A and B are shown apart, each in its own frame.
Chain A
Amino acid sequence: AQSVTQPDIHITVSEGASLELRCNYSYGATPYLFWYVQSPGQGLQLLLKYFSGDTLVQGIKGFEAEFKRSQSSFNLRKPSVHWSDAAEYFCAVGGTGNQFYFGTGTSLTVIP
């Protein structure tokens, strides 16, 4: 069965510190992987996606993610967090079909 696990419900980091949000997936075929960000009261915005090729993908707002097939992981990273990065982050998996599966989200708090 397809599923996405985000083991960290909530993370707090200091502004300027590095960030890594974890994502593990279960998918029966070649996965398409996504990270979305949701600011309070807003819809979800695509941060980055992985379809194929280079396993390190760059996204908007200075985020990057690395696909590791052997670990079934797609962790999101940012070298230096800004206060405006405080939001909820969702990892998602899809494929060549029409369904997408989302994790339960990680809420990020940034301390000034």
Chain B
Amino acid sequence: NAGVTQTPKFQVLKTGQSMTLQCAQDMNHNSMYWYRQDPGMGLRLIYYSASEGTTDKGEVPNGYNVSRLNKREFSLRLESAAPSQTSVYFCASAHTGANVLTFGAGSRLTVL
């Protein structure tokens, strides 16, 4: 059972470059999430998708875009990376109503 798979695990970007973080889940979950984790800040929600075809902003959406490509996949895009976006990014998924998040292993992004 793969669970939630994120790629890439590590990425270094220069300021202004763009990139997409990929996330896929094989648990037939309806809801998917992107969080960022920064020291002393805990996990902060960037965007979430309650179901295929819908996305909503979380606490810190600025500078990010998302796509819920299908039920399995939820990607996070940085159009013009900034050093403030240096972070560890986690994708998670959940059944609607079950309210238990399953997390991926994380993607460490450094923006120089």
Contact = CB atoms under 8 A, between A and B. Distances in A.
Contact of B99 (A41, A44, A51, A90): A51
Given A43-B90, A44-B90, A44-B103, A98 B96 contact: yes
B43 A102 contact: yes
Contacts of B90: 43-44
B41 A43 contact: no
Interface residues of B, number: 27
Contacts of A99: 45, 48, 58
Interface in A25-53: 32, 34, 36, 41-46, 49, 51
Main secondary structure of the interface of B (DSSP, over half): strand
Interface string B49-81: 010000010100000000000000000000000
B99 A94 contact: yes
A63 interface: no
Contacts of A51: 99
Contacts of A105: 42
Interface of B: 4, 31, 33, 35, 40-45, 48, 50, 56, 58, 90, 92, 94, 96-97, 99-106
Interface of A: 4, 6, 9, 32, 34, 36, 41-46, 49, 51, 90, 92, 94-96, 98-105
Given A34-B101, A43-B106, A100-B99, 9 more contacts: A9-B40, A34-B100, A43-B4, A45-B103, A96-B97, A96-B99, A98-B56, A100-B45, A104-B42
18 contacts: A9-B40, A32-B99, A42-B106, A44-B92, A44-B103, A51-B99, A90-B43, A92-B101, A96-B97, A98-B96, A99-B45, A99-B58, A101-B45, A102-B43, A102-B44, A103-B42, A104-B40, A104-B42
